[in-house]
Amino acid sequence: MTASDSPDDDLTAPGLAQIEALVQAAFAALPAPVRQACADLALRVEDFPTDEIVEEMELESPWDLTGLYQGVPLTEKSTWDMPTGPDTVWLYRRPILDEWVERGDVGLAALVSHVLVHEIAHHLGWSDADIMRVDDWTR
């Protein structure tokens, strides 16, 4: 057996398609009323946030953001609003994988689900403080 025949040769980090599949599974597992409230919500997976997002959010690094909700929360929408595009939940693969490895105490599907639910909560009009009261992920 040579070094290139190592059993670890087939191990690779989950790609965008694999993370997208985890997002779709997590979304499908949400209660029907939540899924219905998100009927017009776009779910996107990218490796990192754009440079513009990093700058706008004053992040030190693109590694600091695992997910983002862009849009107008349902609690603030008006029939008079002119939509500029679909409200979107972004999940960022590389920072999610980095957190998953650093934590070592949670499965990847559970972490993806957590990020998705957190961002959907913003779509529903919840603040970070509201979310933290029911899901303190820092513990």
Encode pLDDT of 20-73 as tens digits: 999 999 999 999 999 999 999 999 999 999 999 999 999 999 999 999 999 999
- State mean pLDDT over 90-109: 96
Q: How much is the pTM?
A: 0.86
Cα separation, 61 vs 51, in Å, equals: 9
Give the pLDDT band of residue 5 (cuts 50, 70, 90).
low
Task: Provide φ and ψ at 76, rounded to 5°.
Answer: -115, -5
Q: Between β-strands 67-70 and 88-92, what pairing exists: parallel, antiparallel or unpaired?
A: antiparallel
Return the CATH fold of 14-74+85-134.
Zincin-like (3.30.2010)
- State mean pLDDT over 110-139: 86
